[in-house]
Structure 1
Amino acid sequence: MNDIWQGLAQALRLVLGLDADLIEISGLSLQVSLGATLIASVIGLPLGAWLAINRFRARRVVIAVLNALMGLPPVVVGLFVYVLLSRSGPFGVLGLLFTPTAMVIAQVIIITPIIASIAHQAIRDLWADYHDLLISLNTSRAQRIRTLLWDGRRALMTASLAGFGRAIGEVGAIMIVGGNIDHVTRVLTTAIALETGKGEFGLALALGFVLISLAVLVNLAVHFLSRTERSGRW
């Protein structure tokens, strides 16, 4: 019991004292997760809108596959990216393995289906309201997608924030492709796993406090934006 209280006290000192390692690890986590979220949003949001307004034979199959990919096992993604970026892999010459770039790639693969699926659901409802108007104006598909993305930006921001929340808490894939190298690829989740294994509960708890704070902030932002979006429709 004393170890627990000592760990909590040390964690508070590290957080309140703005420990250099804590700030470095938190900063890299934000850099990787925000970068992955931005790239995944650029891919996923237009993809979700495109699926919402287009009708083709395999559309339901594509949507079902997209929804299934939301539960893609992170360790499988990590293994896949590892194989691609390893020295014997097709992209090994780029030297990206065990770098933040490799971690971003893995996170993009994990969260793009999440963002695209949520975006599809949001744009599908919006498309039902805008369909007749946009068709009557003889707009192109690109113009329809741009219009729906802009008018549904609040709901789509929720999709991106959901992706970010998934990315910031990821550990399996980035442990494999990043290697958890100190001062290079060590992020909040991998550092927590390492420090817990070493018995350094103070730093592990401090990192956990930061991670929980970020997760709570993301959830609050999603909740606020969702309520704002619903209020704006009434």
Structure 2
Amino acid sequence: MTDLWDGLAQALWLVATFDPELVEIAARSLRVTLSALVVASAIAMPLAALLAVRRFRWRRVIIAILNALMGLPPVVVGLVVYVMLSRAGPFGVLGLLFTPTAMIIAQVIIIVPLIASIAHQSLRDLWQDYHDLLISMNVTQWQKIRTLLWDTRRALLTAALAGFGRAIGEVGAIMIVGGNIDHATRVLTTAIALETGKGDFALALALGFVLIGLAVAVNLAIHWLSRTEREGRW
């Protein structure tokens, strides 16, 4: 019990004093996840808007696939990306395996379906309200999409935060494609797994506190945005 309290006290001290190793790992996690979030949002949100405003043959199939991929096991994504980026893979010549870029690619694949599915629900509901107006104005497809994306920006931000929350806590795919290399690809989740295995509970707990803090902040932001969006409709 004494060791537990000592580890907890050391963890709090590491957080309070902004331990350099802790700050480095946390900053790398944020850099990788935010980069993945920007790329994923740039792909998922226009796709969600296109699925909302345009009717084509495979539309329902694509929507069903996106919904199904929300539950895609991250370790499977990590394995696929590993195979594609390995020396024997089609993109092995790029030398991206065990780099932050490989981690970003894996996170993008994981969160694109999540962001697209959540965004599509909001965009679809708004399109029902805007359909007759935009059709009567004879606007282009791109103008329809741009209008929907702008008017649902709070809901889209909620979708992006949900994607961030999933990406920041991912460990399986990141461990496979990143390798958990010190000062290169070590992030919060992989560092927690490593330090726990080594028995360094102080650093593991400190990293856990940072991760929990980020998760709580994201959830509070989602709750606040959802509440303000509901209040804005009344």
Does TM-score exceed 0.5, indicating one fold? yes
What's the CA shift for 1:61? 1.6
Amino acid at match of 1:232: G
Give the deviation of 1:57 after TM superposition. Answer: 2.6
Query: Cα offset for 1:11?
Result: 0.1
Structure 1 SS opposite 2:156: helix
Q: Which residue of 1 aligns with 2:36?
A: 36
Q: How far apart are residue 228 of structure 1 and its match?
A: 1.1
Segments of 5+ residues of structure 2 without an aligned counterpart are none
RMSD over aligned CA atoms reads 0.6
Q: Could you tell me how far apart the structure 2 residues matched to 1:233 and 1:187 are?
A: 40
Q: Which amino acid aligns with 2:224?
A: F
Gap regions ≥5 residues in structure 1: none
Q: Which aligned pairs between 1:26-65 and structure 2 lie closer than 5 A? A: 26-65=26-65
| Partner Cα distance (2:24, 2:163) in 1 | 23
- Cα distance between partner residues in 2 of 1:90 and 1:74: 21
Q: Secondary structure at the match of 1:114?
A: helix
- Percent identical pairs in the alignment equals 76
Distance 2:2 2:49 in 1: 55
Deviations 1:82-113 (A, max 9, x none): 01111111111111100000000000000000
Poorly superposed stretches of 4+, deviation over 2 Å: none
Output the CA distance in 1 between the equivalents of 2:105 and 2:189: 17
Instruction: State the distance in 2 between where 1:181 and 1:57 align.
Output: 46
CA distance in 1, matches of 2:59, 2:220: 33
**For 1:161-176, what aligned pairs fall within 5 Å after superposition?**
161-176=161-176
2:200 paired residue number: 200
Aligned to 2:110: 110
Instruction: Tell me the TM-score normalized by structure 1.
Output: 0.99
- Code of the residue aligned with 1:151 in structure 2: it is D
> Greater shift after overlay, 84-93 or 204-213?
84-93
Give the deviation of 1:232 after TM superposition. 1.2
Report the TM-score when normalising by structure 2. 0.99
What are the within-5 Å matches in structure 2 for residues 186-197 of structure 1? 186-197=186-197
> May I ask how many residue pairs the two structures share in their alignment?
234
